[in-house]
Every structure is written in structure tokens, then in C-alpha cells.
Amino acid sequence: MIEAVGLSKSYGKTKAVDDLSFEVRAGLVTGFLGPNGSGKSTTMRMILGLDHPDAGTVTLGGRRYHDLHWPLREVGALLEAKAVHPGRSARLHLWSLAQTNAIPKNRVDEVLDLVGLAAVAERRVGKFSLGMSQRLGIASALLGDPGVLLFDEPINGLDPEGILWVRNLLKSLAGEGRTIFVSSHLMSEMAQTATELVVIGRGTLIADTTVDDFISSNTVATTLVRSPDAGRLAGVLTSLGATVSVADDGALVVTGSTTERIGEAAHAAGIRLHELSPQQASLEEVFMDLTADAVDFHGTSGATVPR
């Protein structure tokens, strides 16, 4: 379990993380969602004791990272896939990491197999594609068979097959009871990978919830209706309590009702319909709306977000 309490971090005038508190529970995949520059990587670095918070604490199972006796055996992390000496082979890179925490040598081959890099284990890492580097980063995170795993944008640079592989890996790791904290700037990706969500914008917490709740509470269902008798239909629907607006092409956009109720009302009034279709705001739109302020005013140092 990861517990952050009041985490704050500034770099000069940039407030990267601002009074951030959240919990990440074991046995679940928790998505860490925020636009670029919202403070995800900074938070990850503070969890690992790499950057010192200006205020607040973050603990893993009640202990600070610094106090873990064999950190790699408890926490695995993928921060930057390319953060490896290009001249070193994948196997020796992993072996050098394993040695720091007295992890046996056969574990290196195990994780190379697990991520599908066994065939290129002797090749110099500098020759790896971004996708292969991501797999190597995941291998190093898994080296110590840790109970807590942090992945910072692990699907960057992966092909669709690789993305699916990461998704399933994260789910199966969570299924084994591990704590999985994975960041992304893509809502759609999180929706398919995570069940829990920590959403941040400009370093502050926007939502700490489940993916399902986040979507349903932030998505407004609308219905698109086309009719040759649109004017009359609008009046009928408004009288039933729905909100109706007219799109550029004359279609009606109805909120506060359902396709069933609109269809019944039209039938009862004898109005013909040419189209009746439910519209879901895309997850990406929801997320964009929520973090819009955070993005618009990113880089300024004001404490409040002007509207």
C-alpha cells in the first residue's frame, strides 16, 4: 500500500506537486492520471525518495522508501525506459541491479523471459527500440519480485501488441495481491487498465475514485435526434422536462432524457424520427474538461486557478 499525505514539491517557481494526498491499495491496478506536466513523475520520484518533498510524506506499507532494507525486493519501479547505459548488455544491466539487493542471478534470466527479451539479452541496450527499452524497464522493476510496483507511462513507445501485453501483465500482477500504481496522460488507456484512479492536474488532486464512478459521475448522457418536424418535437420534449438544443445541421441534442422516453413521446405526438442515437462524451473529453484549467494555466505560479 502506498500512502501520500500532503505532498508538495516546487522547482524554483514551478509548483510541481501541491498538497497531494492519496492512497493506493494492494491487489488493484490504480491509475495515476493527469495531463503532461501535472506532476505525475515528480510524485513517483518522491515515492522512491529520489526527490525530497518540500512538505508532506509518502510511505509504503507504513515505511519510508529510505528505510526499506532491500528496496528492490519490496518496490519495483519503471521511471524512464531509456535511463540505461547504452553500451551495456541487457543481461549485465539487470545483473548489476540484482547485485545491489542480493537478488540471485537466475532471477535475471527469469525476468528476461517474462518480458520477452531473452533472445536479445546479450545485445547492447543502446540498440534497443523504445518498446524494447520499456520491456527492459519492466524487467528491472520485476527483478526483486516486489509487492509494490510503480510504472511511469509504461506504454509509451509500445506497439498495440505491447500495450495489450502490459495491460494484462499489470492486471495479473494486481491479481497476485500486489500494489500497482501506473501513470498515464491518456484517460482511455487508464479506463482499460486500471480499476482505481488518482487524477491530478497542476499537481493537485482532482479525483480519487474508481474508474467506473469517475466515468459515470463525469459523463453527461445526451441523445441526438433528427426529425422532419424538429420544432414541434423540441416543444414536446421540453414540456417533458428535457433540455433541448439545436445543432448546426438542425439536429436536436437532448439532455435529461433517454432514447426510450424520446421515442415514446415522439410516437405519442405522431412525429416521425429519422435518427435517434445515444451520445457518450468520450472519456478523453471528460478528462480534458476536468483538467482544462490545469492545462491552460500550466506554468504560472498563482495559487488559485482563474476562471
Partner 1 sequence: MTTTTATGSPLLATAPGRAGLRQGILSEWTKLRSVRSTWIALLVIVVAGIGLSALISNVEAGRWGTLGAADRAQFDPVRFSQAGEFISQFVVGVLGALIVTSEYANGAIRTTLATLPRRTTVLAAKAVVIGAVIFVVSEVTAFASFFVGQAVLTAHGGKTLPEGSTILTQVKSSFIPVATFSSTGAARAVFFCGIYLTLLALVAFGFGLILRHTAGAISLFVGVLLVIPLIVQILPSSISDSIEKFLPSNLGLAMIVVTTRKTDFAGVLLSPWAAAMTLALYTVVIVAVGGWLLARRDA
Ligand X SMILES: Nc1ncnc2c1ncn2[C@@H]1O[C@H](COP(=O)(O)OP(=O)(O)O)[C@@H](O)[C@H]1O
Distance CA 81, CA 65 (A): 21
Binding of residue 42 to ligand X (CB under 6 A): yes
- Other Cβ atoms less than 10 A from the Cβ of 210: the count is 15
Out of partner 1, Mg ion, ligand X, none, what residue 14 binds, judged by CB under 5 to 8 A for its kind, is ligand X
8 vs 227, beta carbon nearer ligand X: 8
Binding mask 17-46 for Mg ion (x = CB under 5 A): -----------------------xx-----
Q: Please, what is the minimum distance in Å from the beta carbon of residue 38 to Mg ion?
A: 8
C-alpha cell at 3: 500512502
64 vs 272, beta carbon nearer partner 1: 64
138 vs 262, beta carbon nearer partner 1: 138
Residues that bind partner 1 (CB under 8 A): 1, 26, 45, 48-52, 60-63, 65-66, 68-75, 77, 79-80, 82-89, 92-93, 95-97, 99-103, 140, 144-148, 176-179
Q: Please, what is the minimum distance in Å from the beta carbon of residue 265 to partner 1?
A: 55
* Among the listed residues 8, 30, 41, 222, the single contact to ligand X using CB under 6 A: 41
Out of ligand X, Mg ion, partner 1, none, what residue 201 binds, judged by CB under 5 to 8 A for its kind, is none
Q: Which parts of this chain interact with ligand X (CB under 6 A)?
A: 11, 14, 16, 34, 36-42
